[in-house]
Amino acid sequence: MHTRLAVCATLLLAALGPLGAAARGQDRRPPWLDAEPLAAWNQADGTIPPPPVVDEPVNPKCRDQARPVQTAEDQQLRDRGWSLVGPFQGGWGVLVVRATAGWDGMCRPMQYQDFVFVSGRFAGTLAPAPMDSRTDGAIGDVSLLGPDRITAQYLRYTDDDPLCCRSRITSVEFSIEGDPSVVRARSASTSETTMIRR
pLDDT digits (tens, 9 = 90+) for 127-170: 999 999 988 888 999 999 999 999 999 987 677 766 677 677 78
| Beta strands 182-197; 165-177: pairing state | antiparallel
Tens digit of pLDDT for each residue in 170-193?
899 999 999 999 999 999 998 887
Domain count, the chain: 1
Give the residue from 131, 121, 134, 105 showing the smallest Cα distance to 176.
121
At 95, the amino acid letter reads: L
In one-letter notation, the amino acid at residue 166 is R
- Rounded-to-integer distance, Cα 127 and Cα 189, Å: 15
Residue 179 belongs to some domain of the structure: yes
Domain that holds residue 43: 31-197
Has residue 139 been placed in a domain? yes
Q: Of 172, 175, 169, 167, give the one whose Cα is nearest residue 191.
A: 169
Give the pLDDT confidence of 48-107 residue by residue, as tens digits.
Answer: 999 999 887 778 889 888 999 999 999 999 999 999 999 999 999 999 999 999 999 889
Q: How far apart are CA 18 and CA 13, in angstroms?
A: 9
Strands 94-103, 121-125: parallel, antiparallel or unpaired by DSSP? unpaired
Amino acid of residue 124: G
Q: Is residue 23 part of a domain?
A: no
10 occurs within a structural domain: no
Q: Would you say residue 71 lies in a domain?
A: yes
pLDDT on residue 59 = 80
153 within domain boundaries: yes
Question: Does residue 53 form part of some domain?
Answer: yes
Give residue 21's pLDDT band: very low, low, confident or very high (50, 70, 90). very low
